[in-house]
Amino acid sequence: MNKKKSLFKNSAIIFVGKFSTQLISLVLLPLYTTFLSPKEYGLIDLIVTYVTLLVPVITVQMELAGFRFLVDARNNDKEKKAVISNIMQIILSISAIFSLIYLILGRFIDIPYENIILLNILASIFTNIFLQFSRGLGDNKKFAIASVVNAVSVLIMNIIFVIVLKLGLQGVILSFAIANAVSAIYLFTSLKLYRYIDLRHSDRKLKYKLLHFSLPLIPNGLSWWIISVSDRTIISIFLGLAANGLYAVSAKYAGVYSSIFAVFSLALVESISMHINAKDSNEFISDIYNANLKIFGSFGILLIALSPFIFNIFVGSQFRDAIMYVPILILAAFFNAIVGIYSAVYVAKKLTKKVAVTSIVAALINIVLTLGFVKLFGIYAAAAATAVAYLAMAVYRHHDIRNIVSIKYDKKVLLEVIIAYAVIIALFYVRTTLINIISLALALFISISLNRSTIHKIVSMTKTRLSI
CA gap 419, 301 in Å, rounded: 11
Q: Please give the residue range of the domain that contains residue 362.
A: 217-468
Answer yes or no: do 316 and 432 share one domain.
yes
CA gap 182, 189 in Å, rounded: 11
CA gap 362, 105 in Å, rounded: 30
Answer yes or no: do 255 and 341 share one domain.
yes
Answer yes or no: do 357 and 465 share one domain.
yes
User: Of the candidates 142, 127, 144, 141, which has an alpha carbon nearest to the alpha carbon of residue 19?
Assistant: 144
Residue where a domain terminates, one of 214, 230, 260? 214
Residue where a domain terminates, one of 214, 229, 259? 214
Q: In this predicted structure, what is the pLDDT of residue 8? A: 60
Identify whether 35 is part of a domain.
Answer: no
Answer yes or no: do 291 and 319 share one domain.
yes
CA distances in angstroms from 168 to 31, 40, 75, 121, 306, listed in the order given? 11, 9, 48, 19, 31
Answer yes or no: do 413 and 325 share one domain.
yes
Q: In this predicted structure, what is the pLDDT of residue 273? A: 72
Amino acid at 288: I
Identify whether 15 is part of a domain.
Answer: no
Answer yes or no: do 227 and 333 share one domain.
yes
Identify whether 327 is part of a domain.
Answer: yes
Strand ranges, E, within 249-403: none
Count of beta carbons in the 10 Å neighbourhood of residue 349: 15
Answer yes or no: do 270 and 409 share one domain.
yes
Burial (CB < 10 A; 0-12, 13-18, 19+), residue 101, is exposed
Identify whether 20 is part of a domain.
Answer: no
| pTM over the 0.85 mark | no
pLDDT tens figures, 17-37: 566 666 677 677 777 777 777
Answer yes or no: do 344 and 280 share one domain.
yes
Q: In this predicted structure, what is the pLDDT of residue 27? A: 73
Q: In this predicted structure, what is the pLDDT of residue 220? A: 67
Residues of the chain below pLDDT 70: 1-23, 26, 219-226, 266-267, 275, 316, 458, 461-468
CA gap 106, 100 in Å, rounded: 10
Identify whether 341 is part of a domain.
Answer: yes
Residue 115 CB contacts under 8 Å (≥ 6 apart), including other chains = none
CA distances in angstroms from 63 to 59, 131, 262, 457, listed in the order given? 7, 8, 16, 36
Residue where a domain terminates, one of 152, 182, 214? 214
Answer yes or no: do 382 and 426 share one domain.
yes
pLDDT tens figures, 196-228: 888 777 888 988 888 888 887 776 666 666 677
Q: How far is CA 72 from its chain centroid?
A: 24
User: Of the candidates 321, 327, 111, 132, which has an alpha carbon nearest to the alpha carbon of residue 210?
Assistant: 132
CA gap 401, 346 in Å, rounded: 8
Answer yes or no: do 132 and 252 share one domain.
no
Identify whether 297 is part of a domain.
Answer: yes
CA gap 367, 231 in Å, rounded: 7
Angle at 373 between CA 371 and CA 376, to 5 degrees: 130
Identify whether 409 is part of a domain.
Answer: yes
Answer yes or no: do 258 and 206 share one domain.
no
- 337, 364 Cβ separation under 8 angstroms: no
Q: Which conformational region is residue 240 in: left (phi greater than 0), alpha (psi within -120 to 50 degrees), or beta?
A: left
Count of beta carbons in the 10 Å neighbourhood of residue 58: 21
Q: Number of folded domains in the chain?
A: 2
Sign of CA dihedral 338, 11, 277, 353: positive
Answer yes or no: do 192 and 257 share one domain.
no
Identify whether 12 is part of a domain.
Answer: no
